A = this chain, B = another copy of it.
């Protein structure tokens, strides 16, 4: 695929992926992709990442059901970052049960939690 050939992966063969809610513009999460996960994401039109901790493909939502349906895919001026604009199934992207992983806001000198848990993680990952 031509687009994949033009995409630049780093020295670990990974590329950063920013994930944005296509309806609200909210940043939902940040993850990494290898070439295979990007190819699968394009093919399935559903987000597939590479888990650096588990060292394997991460089919987002496989356990939780919180899959991310691809609406648009962008890359940046250097072809070394991916932006996925997605429809977040279940409205929850974060493993904590919140909509977005970015729920801690800087308040003076501390990170303050500013978003509610929508679903108990115990009920998500049974």
Contact = CB atoms under 8 A, between A and B. Distances in A.
Contacts of A76: 29-30, 101-104
Contacts of A29: 76
- Copies per assembly: 2
A36 interface: no
A2 interface: yes
B27 A73 contact: no
Contact of A74 (B20, B81, B83, B106): B106
Contact of A77 (B20, B72, B79, B103): B103
Interface residues on A, range: 35 or more
Contact of A83 (B2, B42, B72, B102): B102
Given A18-B18, A29-B76, A75-B102, 15 more contacts: A2-B109, A6-B111, A16-B30, A20-B25, A30-B76, A74-B106, A75-B104, A75-B106, A75-B111, A77-B95, A77-B96, A77-B101, A77-B104, A78-B101, A79-B104
Contacts of A103: 74, 76-77
Interface string A81-98: 101000000000011101
